[in-house]
Amino acid sequence: MDNQPLAEQMRPKRLSEIVGQQQVLGPNTALRTSIEQDNLSSLILWGPPGSGKTTLARVIANEVVADFVELSAVQAGKKDVIEVVKHAQTNQRLGQKTILFIDEIHRFNKAQQDAFLPYVEDGTIILIGATTENPSFEVITPLLSRSRVVVLEPLSTDSVSKIIKTTLKKLKQANRFTPKAIELLAHNSGGDARVALGNVELLLKATSKTEKITPKVITTTLDKKLPVYDKAGEGHYNLISAFIKSMRGSDPSSTFYYLARMLEAGEDPKFIARRMVIFVSEDVGIAASQALNVAVSTFQAVEQIGMPECRYNLFHCALVLAKCKKSRQVTDAMSRGYQLVNSHPDLPVPLHLRNAPTELMRQLDYGKDYEWKADFKHDRGFLPDEINDIDLFSDA
């Protein structure tokens, strides 16, 4: 249909037409084998936008000749699922398989996911759920245990380029795009085929039929695409994790890359500054104690200055933390301290360490032989007798 978006028009119909995702669809992979042998179990397709989750679900239904029912968790509810189950039960009596595809399955709550669990178990429906979120946190455990999780990766630049070239060939527009233009479109797609084809469609509509489409035409026609980033989703945690690990690994280049990505995508600079304050004591510690002053000062600067100028403060601090020496002595000893408390939570404070403000307390040996001197070490030590031989720093 001409009124369909170009990405929808170009959606593959068969396995042989799918570009990319060879790690799950290549020859002899478990998923491909199960499709070819028509021995399909329920699936959870986990991957970023535009990685082909919906396409793969539809292709699977075509390949195994199943009735394909599609629901969006954003709009559908428990009632819709029950209607699909009734339809699937009718199909089952006629010997017809039913695939229920639920887009954004992570948006279904526990009760809604529970609703179709019995019908997944008895084979009434083959469930294919699609999600951009980690299914470990978003899909109920009983459903996960009855499904195979398939991880789809962002499409490579080469794969997106191939999709663009195939599309332009079918549209008889291949000669209008220079190789550099196709390369730029693929690079700026973020691994999302829909984004790439959406940009191709926009360029075809916004330019004359005789105009050659070059990188210059693309940059003047298309708005800047911000990095894909969901501040409430997994991408948020993945990037801050990579940022922290880069500083821990003393790699300034990767530290700056991930910091720039977060800021460019709109991350709260105070969140980043807080994480650096925590990082100093956790990973730098006494190897460079003065770095804590830098991190705290950076947090205060970020609060007082704000974006965009506070970027200088953040990058300054990140470079200091990435390049300075590291020590986990504080972190490791702190962990041992908590373990010691958990195993001995109620040991009484030794009498010689207790204050003795009254005569009765002194008679009971409160504060016995303790002297108010700098660096005074009591013969009996400072820990209760039961744990007096423990040194939290012996391996720190």
CA atoms within 13 A on the CB side of 69: 21
Please report the pLDDT score of residue 108 as a whole number.
83
pLDDT higher than 60, residue 264 = yes
CA-CA distances (angstroms) from residue 241 to 58, 163, 275? 35, 32, 10
Cα dihedral 151/154/156/159 (nearest 10): 80
Q: Is residue 189 part of a domain?
A: yes
pLDDT higher than 80, residue 389 = yes
pLDDT higher than 50, residue 313 = yes
Q: Is residue 277 part of a domain?
A: yes
Residue 90: band (very low, low, confident or very high) from pLDDT cuts 50, 70, 90: very high
Residue 53's nearest CA partner among 96, 90, 18, 3 is 18
pLDDT digits (tens, 9 = 90+) for 127-155: 999 988 888 888 888 888 888 899 888 88
CA separation for the pair 203, 158 (Å, rounded): 20
**CATH code for the domain in which residue 68 is found:** 3.40.50.300
Task: Please tell me the total count of domains within the chain.
Answer: 4
Residues in the chain: 396
**CATH code for the domain in which residue 241 is found:** 1.20.272.10
* 128 bridge partner residues: 43, 101
**Based on the domain organization, do 40 and 82 belong to the same domain?**
yes
Residue 260: band (very low, low, confident or very high) from pLDDT cuts 50, 70, 90: very high
Q: Which residue has the higher pLDDT, 55 or 231?
A: 55
CA separation for the pair 369, 381 (Å, rounded): 12
* 72 bridge partner residues: 103
Containing structural domain, residue 186:
157-221
Q: Is the pTM of this model over 0.85?
A: no
Contacts (Cβ under 8 Å, ≥6 apart) of 202: 221, 222
Residue 68's nearest CA partner among 130, 133, 127 is 127
**CATH code for the domain in which residue 167 is found:** 1.10.8
pLDDT higher than 50, residue 1 = no
CA atoms within 13 A on the CB side of 29: 12
Residue type, 254: S
**Based on the domain organization, do 282 and 363 belong to the same domain?**
no
Residue 387's nearest CA partner among 330, 337, 329 is 337
**Based on the domain organization, do 382 and 361 belong to the same domain?**
yes
Q: Please say which residue of 151, 181, 200 terminates a domain.
A: 151
pLDDT more than 90, % of the chain: 27
CA separation for the pair 184, 220 (Å, rounded): 13
Average pLDDT along the chain? 87
**Based on the domain organization, do 161 and 205 belong to the same domain?**
yes
CA separation for the pair 313, 298 (Å, rounded): 6
CA separation for the pair 130, 314 (Å, rounded): 37
CA-CA distances (angstroms) from residue 262 to 35, 64, 226, 296, 342? 39, 42, 11, 20, 38
Q: Please say which residue of 128, 151, 174 terminates a domain.
A: 151
CA separation for the pair 69, 58 (Å, rounded): 9
**Based on the domain organization, do 43 and 93 belong to the same domain?**
yes
**Based on the domain organization, do 80 and 122 belong to the same domain?**
yes
Q: Which residue has the higher pLDDT, 19 or 318?
A: 318
Residue 6: band (very low, low, confident or very high) from pLDDT cuts 50, 70, 90: confident
Q: Which residue has the higher pLDDT, 3 or 59?
A: 59
pLDDT higher than 50, residue 126 = yes
Q: Is residue 360 part of a domain?
A: yes
Please report the pLDDT score of residue 233 as a whole number.
56
pLDDT higher than 90, residue 322 = yes
* 102 bridge partner residues: 71, 129
Please report the pLDDT score of residue 226 as a whole number.
45
**Based on the domain organization, do 26 and 74 belong to the same domain?**
yes
Residue 21: band (very low, low, confident or very high) from pLDDT cuts 50, 70, 90: confident
pLDDT digits (tens, 9 = 90+) for 189-238: 878 888 889 889 888 888 888 889 898 888 888 765 445 555 555 567 78
**Based on the domain organization, do 208 and 300 belong to the same domain?**
no
Residue 40's nearest CA partner among 31, 49, 48 is 31
